[in-house]
Structure 1
Amino acid sequence: MGTAISLDLADDLPAPELDGLAGDAFAWLREVDARFSTYRADSEVCRLDRGELPLSAAGADLRNVLARCAELWKVTDGFFDAYATGRLDPSGYVKGWAVQVASDRLLAAGAANHCLNAGGDVRVRGRSHTGRPWRIGVRHPWDAMSTCLVLTGTDLAVATSGVYERGHHVLDPRRGVPARGLRSVTVVGPDLGLADAYATAAAAMGPAGVGWLDGLPGHQHAVVTDDARLLHSTALPLAG
């Protein structure tokens, strides 16, 4: 996925069982990387984009992901666009979706307390090793060693789209140029795939994305603007 992934399992289970749970989670994420990567020439995404793989012959996961991307294109008025770069790239949904699936599988397997973090896309469930709700730091967009805020909860999906590592890489699909105005967009909700896509869409909208996020039901947000203003939902689950 082109990013570091960490897993914290907080259940009091035998070490071999914890190892198995972690192994299954990372195996799934490696599988997603192999099938959905836009950098690996043999991935399903690249083969489909080049016309070598008919959609009818693609795997069920890829077909479902593309269907969700089409729905998200409508919901975001075209600002979430898997073809914004001119080629197929569903990464703005896939990373969050993959982590959400991994978390769902961990929960179903008995790991009710865990934190899975894929480069800032975080899914937490239950409680940490301390017995307290998880604390999720949102990176300060100008200082890699600091946070701009800390969230807390027992069942949260937190996705952040920012320009501090890859520059202004999120495109405004209407103009075909890098979007500007928002340095960091964090969306909190019940599903990490949706939170990831909504964060990407809001970043693509630029300053107008703040108003759009304000009207997004069932989600909270925090935004840092290019001129260093921090704006966030009143219901954002901030740590005390």
Structure 2
Amino acid sequence: MARSGRLLPNSMRETRILMGMPVTVDVGGAFATLVDTVFDYFERVDRRFSTYKSDSEISAINRGDVPVKDWSGEMMEVLAIAERTKKETGGYFDVHKADGSLDPSGIVKGWAINNAAGIVHKAGFSDFFIEAGGDIQSCGKNASHLDWSVGIRNPFNTDEIIKIIYPRGRGVVTSGTYARGHHIYNPYAFGDPIAEIVSLTVIGSDVLEADRFATAAFAMGRGGIQFIEQTPGLEGYVVDINGRATPTTGFGDLCKP
């Protein structure tokens, strides 16, 4: 495949603020044009799905300005994934808000990262790391020719890393209250915020699989780690309000370099 443009050094990592969060792209040996293409993709996703932008498609849908027949293919795809996830989590994941509006932000981030990884793959690169707001998809090796590693922060002291995992191509997503406060609620407890756990990390076959189950598992409270344990292809690590950590049975294998 022919490539043109400025070649990035192996240690190059660029972060930009997009979708209201830091987005980091690190592609070993890539040209700057590819990294720009990935960031441009995240910008397009934000313009379509942001509930904070009055001119986004999702805002227009929630105002009733766009009939279903005119919804974009991307919107239909995300909402179909959301509906499947709702069924698979017993209703703990739901993009429908109490006022009847749609808010797919709980799944868009993982979906977008996964698609961005596809852009990099299609360009012929197999060593990369993409992170958006703590949700991560990595593949191959880093600039030191080692497996990518991901640190899990102590929710009570975010300067401290309490676990290091080696996802080796899997996606990693952490849901919690330590960074954004109480923003995940139990739909079966009159919308009460989750107080008994403070951090839940989910590892899936890719970042979309991890993301679409992480929010729901967190909304389950203490029972969320059992849900992750029982769901094929997922591993997890939860920290409760008392600082007690509980991993799934296969989590320890991900901690081995």
Aligned to 1:238: 255
- Deviating 4+ runs (over 6 angstroms): none
Aligned to 2:82: 69
Give the CA deviation at 1:239. Answer: 4.2
Aligned to 1:102: 116
User: 1:111 and 2:108 equivalent?
Assistant: no
User: 1:165 and 2:179 equivalent?
Assistant: yes
Q: Which runs of 5+ in 2 are unaligned?
A: 1-18
| Per-residue Cα deviation, 1:173-206 (whole angstroms, up to 9, x for no partner) | 2222212222111111112122112110011111
1:75-86 to 2 correspondences below 5 Å: 75-86=88-99
Give the CA deviation at 1:138. Answer: 1.5
Aligned to 2:195: 180
> Any idea what SS the aligned residue of 2:170 has?
strand
> Any idea what SS the aligned residue of 1:101 has?
helix
Aligned to 2:225: 210
User: 1:155 and 2:169 equivalent?
Assistant: yes
2:133 & 2:55 partners in 1: Cα distance? 24
User: 1:228 and 2:240 equivalent?
Assistant: no
| TM-score after normalising by structure 1 | 0.94
From 81, 99, 106, give the equivalent of 1:92. 106
| TM-score after normalising by structure 2 | 0.88
1:132 & 1:35 partners in 2: Cα distance? 36
The AA in structure 2 aligned to 1:185 is: L
More RCO (CA 8 Å, sep 6+): 1
| Per-residue Cα deviation, 1:45-84 (whole angstroms, up to 9, x for no partner) | 1111121111211110001101111111100000001114
2:38 & 2:153 partners in 1: Cα distance? 25
> Any idea what SS the aligned residue of 2:149 has?
strand
| Per-residue Cα deviation, 1:107-137 (whole angstroms, up to 9, x for no partner) | 1111210000111100000111111100111
2:107 & 2:95 partners in 1: Cα distance? 9
Over the matched positions of the two proteins, sequence identity in percent amounts to 34
Aligned to 1:29: 42
User: 1:142 and 2:156 equivalent?
Assistant: yes
8 Å CA contact 1:84–1:176 kept in 2: the answer is no
2:209 & 2:60 partners in 1: Cα distance? 25
